[in-house]
Structure 1
Amino acid sequence: MTCLPFSCSTRASSVGTRKGRKDDGREAADELAKEAKKNHQLVKSNRDILATGSNGIASFFSQRGKKGINQDCFVVWEGFGFQEDMTFCGMFDGHGPWGHYVSKRVRDLLPSALLCQWQKDLALAAVDSGMDCECSQSNITFDVWKQCYSRTCALVDKELDRHQGFYSFSSGTTSLAVIKQGDMIVLANVGDSRAVLGRTSEDGSIVAVQMTVDCKPNEPQEAERIRQSRGEVFCLPDEPGIYRIWSPTHEAPGLSTSRAFGDYCLKEYGITSAPEVTQWHITERDKFIVLATDGVWDVLSNQEAVEIVSSAEQKETSAKILAESAVNAWKRRRPGLCADDCSAICLFFQSSSPRRQNNLVDGGTKNKGIVSPGGLVAFGR
């Protein structure tokens, strides 16, 4: 494994010099995304992307619910930071009147910000340990990734606060970000989207292993933090079992997740963008990860989800089948209720033989596709 072709800090210095001001490296990371777009590696479109890759396959799909505009969006970047064995996936679920803007903004900010922060923390780790960049990168620890995620989420949340045009005072977004590097997976969860691992048991059947914990206001640790911040947690009479966080005056809109970007009307009452960061190691029995918004998990169990994905005849269609299964489950299990947006990413660890590569095919209004290594795909409005 080698370092990036150049460091964010070095590239940023030249950018800052051209514009006559200093830069913290974010512009350099943004330039990487622009270059990826120029090279047809960055796609933002309501179209099908069908391709396969040697490092694994990421299938993704989003189905608008019955509540209005689809506020879900996501990004998949294989070859993240020009590292052949590194994949970044992000799932974002907006809420509130301007949630679709906030989720899109966080989706656009988080990958490049994380990449830049990773380079900085990697360089600091190399200096502290006395190792060269290549050595430190191959031995990077979970603590470094955890610190990197935490700093990045704080920076992105502050950026939202500075950008008044996105109305993030009473709107926000959850975020579930995943880095896969070799056989290591690091997850950073802000909210109630969920990651579930599909693993084969000894008898060959597929079993579900939940990788993240939903950040809900009624979870004991979350509820304690909220109450210490003077926030309140309770259900409305017409929503039994749905706990929300409220301001002491109950004027701010109640929120059913305890962690989110934006939502500044509730920030002082317990809402936080601090991520829950966990690490996993992939084994030969681990076949894929499902990342999905709460619209999927509200009506499907973890086991049902992995069985649906595992039974898909083609990996390319697995996320589409899962999302559509969730939509059908809303009709059967929650009749009379408006279905939520249902979005999923299925990241497979073992690739089938390539069928199509870098082939852009016109599609409908639904976001779906499959991405190959080296490409960054971002979907949503």
Structure 2
Amino acid sequence: MDLFDDLPEPRQTSGRVSSATTARPQATTEEEEEEDEEEKKRLKRRREDTEEEGEVKRVCKEGLPVLKGYVAARRGERDEMQDAHVLLPDMSSYLNARPSPASRVSYFAVFDGHGGARASRFAAEHLHHILANKFPSGLTGNMDVLIKRCLLDTFRQTDEDFLRTASSQKPAWKDGSTATCVLAVDDTVYVANLGDSRAVLCRMEAAAAGGGRRSLTLPLSTEHNPTIYEERRRIQRAGGTVRDGRVLRVLEVSRSIGDGQYKRCGVISSPDTKRCQLTANDRFILLACDGLFKVFSAEEAVKFVLHILQEATVEQKPGLTEEEVRSEAACQRLASEAVRRGCADNVTVILLSISF
């Protein structure tokens, strides 16, 4: 459609008519009447299209999942809390323009810093703003491809911006951070991660025998450490070495934001991305730094949360539903249990409850 289709044609409203055009006024009147009639039809079609579009949007909004975020953070035995997190259940105010088929956009993220807290805090403060500026503003192609490209560009720019800031300091900052981000667009979840923080989904399914339902733990992220073959090969090709499971015997992750001194050794900021369509069988998503998974397997963490959501006794709080109280309690107890089990690292857990 041409940009100016809805604009009326220009009309002559002033000026003297010469003798050579004495027969033109009647023709002009007829043309104007035709234009007016055409304009009325055009406006009617526009109103009908707008009403139809509004109806489609109302239908699309029905049945969409609602994600609510709960967070728990523990310093552990560290001198400093180097984790950071972001909860944005509604990202609309940050977006320049929302893509036409999307009616809800949410963002949640966990950042696990090392060598200091500056890289994780920088990512928590800036990454979602960069993401919002790069977010596809219309359906001009395959939405999955556009969002994946957007996430890759966002991580790259966040890393570059932090490294520029870090190198300008005296002395230069040497902080780094992992990143695990969940971007929910309507009923589709996109996960981008680098480093060893993780995201997992709890999905319920019918049990094979005996009735009831059982939980499935689905990984939504890919771990990046230098002991993985592909990661080690990239580091070695760049001239780096892997000793004792670490880059140059120091860095435990093979991808990160920051860590400028290791970028020449093959440590990159390109995240892995995964896409997941949410269903009515999905209960929650867990995002957590490696402090949790040092003492919990993913399956153990999911079952721990499920027990509290379904069976454990919780104290009711005014103004909150029972589900909200249970979700908050599950998140807090999971982080505390990680510390009780002996995790000395920082522990940050985000629990995203899913309801339809």
- TM-score when normalising by structure 2: 0.70
Are residue 72 (structure 1) and residue 83 (structure 2) matched?
yes
Check conservation: 2:71, 2:349, Cα contact below 8 A: yes
Check conservation: 1:287, 1:349, Cα contact below 8 A: yes
Q: Which runs of 5+ in 1 are unaligned?
A: 1-53, 124-132, 236-242, 332-338, 352-381
Letter in 2 for 1:111: H
Residue of structure 1 aligned with 2:183, choices 179, 182, 194: 179
Letter in 2 for 1:73: A
Check conservation: 1:55, 1:85, Cα contact below 8 A: no
Rounded to whole Å, the distance in 2 between the matches of 1:182 and 1:149 is 17
Are residue 234 (structure 1) and residue 243 (structure 2) matched?
yes
- TM-score when normalising by structure 1: 0.65
Give the direction of change, closer, same or farther, for the CA distance of 1:195–1:182 in structure 2 (3 Å limit). same
Q: Which runs of 5+ in 2 are unaligned?
A: 1-64, 208-212, 310-325
Are residue 321 (structure 1) and residue 326 (structure 2) matched?
no
SS class of match (1:162) = helix
Alpha-carbon displacement from aligned partner over 1:133-189 (angstroms, at most 9, x marks no partner): 3xx18x752111111011111111111122134976422111111101122111110
Check conservation: 1:215, 1:259, Cα contact below 8 A: yes
Rounded to whole Å, the distance in 2 between the matches of 1:65 and 1:104 is 18
Give the direction of change, closer, same or farther, for the CA distance of 1:272–1:140 in structure 2 (3 Å limit). same
1:279 shift after superposition = 0.9
Give the direction of change, closer, same or farther, for the CA distance of 1:169–1:230 in structure 2 (3 Å limit). farther
* Residues 82-231 of structure 1 aligned to structure 2 (within 5 Å): 82=93, 85-96=104-115, 99-118=116-135, 122-123=136-137, 133=138, 136=139, 141-163=143-165, 164-165=168-169, 169-203=173-207, 204-231=213-240
Identity across matched positions, percent? 28
Letter in 2 for 1:265: Q
Check conservation: 2:280, 2:355, Cα contact below 8 A: no
Check conservation: 2:92, 2:104, Cα contact below 8 A: no
Letter in 1 for 2:290: D
- Give me the CA root mean square deviation: 1.9
Q: How many residues align?
A: 261
Are residue 295 (structure 1) and residue 297 (structure 2) matched?
no
SS class of match (1:266) = helix
Residue of structure 2 aligned with 1:274, choices 270, 275, 278: 270
Rounded to whole Å, the distance in 2 between the matches of 1:70 and 1:166 is 23
1:111 shift after superposition = 0.5
Letter in 1 for 2:130: A
Rounded to whole Å, the distance in 1 between the matches of 2:84 and 2:352 is 16
Give the direction of change, closer, same or farther, for the CA distance of 1:190–1:308 in structure 2 (3 Å limit). same
Partner of residue 367, structure 1: none
Rounded to whole Å, the distance in 2 between the matches of 1:168 and 1:277 is 31
Rounded to whole Å, the distance in 1 between the matches of 2:283 and 2:231 is 32
Rg bigger for which structure?
A: 2
1:316 shift after superposition = 1.8
Rounded to whole Å, the distance in 2 between the matches of 1:140 and 1:187 is 17
